[in-house]
């Protein structure tokens, strides 16, 4: 779907229907597009795979984690162009919209720190027992993977039931993400939306 707006009302309506915004950025235009992939990638908590090296680093306390303490810094880091590409789909309008959703209590961040520096993290949306991961970043090896591990533990503890990672990537597949059909995803989403749980 193309069009609509990035107002809080529109964003919440979309997420409740399993749809998320992903702007198409061209050289001379920016198109607000909305997606509901089939199949859809999810990371079920019991499927989480923590690589041995990462597990050792976490157990040694090499990473510190916080939640919702540096949302703006996380989304700005996620929006920065990647080394392999000059562009980003996290446009200034997207940054503004999700900062607003954070202020309203819907969008959340995971921050990973080393020696007081922000070295990785991710952000996403929480509705009932559903968490939609939007983007992640790292400036130190394993920091974004650590963010996923810390997030899954947080979601498990808080009573969440569904962690949507939207699209399958090699990074997420190695950590246990899998593809499910859209109809299954939407059925699971509907069961989660009214759960009386909160992110923080």
What is the per-residue pLDDT across 3-53, written as a single tens digit (0 to 9) for each?
A: 899 999 999 999 999 999 999 888 778 899 999 999 999 999 999 999 999
Q: What confidence tens digit (pLDDT) does each residue in 149-179 have?
A: 999 999 999 999 999 999 899 989 999 999 9
Q: What are phi and psi of 42, to 5 degrees?
A: -130, 160
- The predicted-structure confidence for 62-111, as pLDDT tens digits, reads as follows 999 999 999 999 999 999 987 655 557 899 999 999 999 999 999 999 99
Q: Which are the contacts of 2, defined by CB distance < 8 A and separation ≥ 6?
A: 31, 32, 33, 34
Q: How many CA atoms lie within 13 A of 151 on its CB side?
A: 35
pLDDT at position 84: 55
Comparing CA positions, the residue from 115, 134, 138, 117 lying closest to residue 125 is: 134
Cβ atoms of 98 and 134 within 8 Å: the answer is: yes
Q: Which residues pair with 124 in a beta bridge?
A: 108, 133
- Name the pTM for this structure: 0.95
* pLDDT tens, residue by residue, 127-140: 999 999 999 999 99
The domains located in the chain, with CATH, are 38-192 (3.40.630.70)
CA distance 97 to 101: 6
pLDDT number for residue 146: 98
């Amino acid at each position: 779907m193309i069009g609509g707006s990035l107002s809080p009302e529109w964003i919440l309506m979309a997420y409740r229907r399993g749809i998320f915004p992903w702007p198409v950025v061209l050289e001379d235009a920016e198109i607000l597009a909305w997606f509901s992939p089939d199949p859809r990638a999810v990371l079920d908590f019991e499927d989480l795979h923590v690589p041995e090296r990462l597990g050792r680093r976490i157990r040694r306390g090499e990473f510190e984690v916080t939640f919702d303490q540096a949302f703006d810094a996380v989304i700005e880091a996620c929006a920065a162009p990647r080394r392999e590409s000059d562009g980003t789909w996290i446009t200034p309008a997207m940054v503004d919209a999700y900062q607003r959703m954070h202020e309203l209590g819907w969008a959340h961040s995971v921050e990973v720190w080393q020696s007081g520096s922000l070295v990785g993290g991710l952000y996403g949306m929480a509705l009932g027992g559903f968490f939609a991961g939007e983007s992640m970043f790292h400036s130190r090896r394993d920091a974004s993977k650590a963010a996923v591990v810390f997030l899954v533990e947080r979601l498990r503890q808080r009573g969440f039931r569904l962690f949507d990672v939207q699209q399958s990537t090699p990074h997420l597949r190695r950590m246990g993400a899998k593809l499910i059909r859209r109809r299954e995803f939407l059925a699971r989403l509907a069961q989660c939306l009214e759960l009386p749980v909160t992110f923080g």
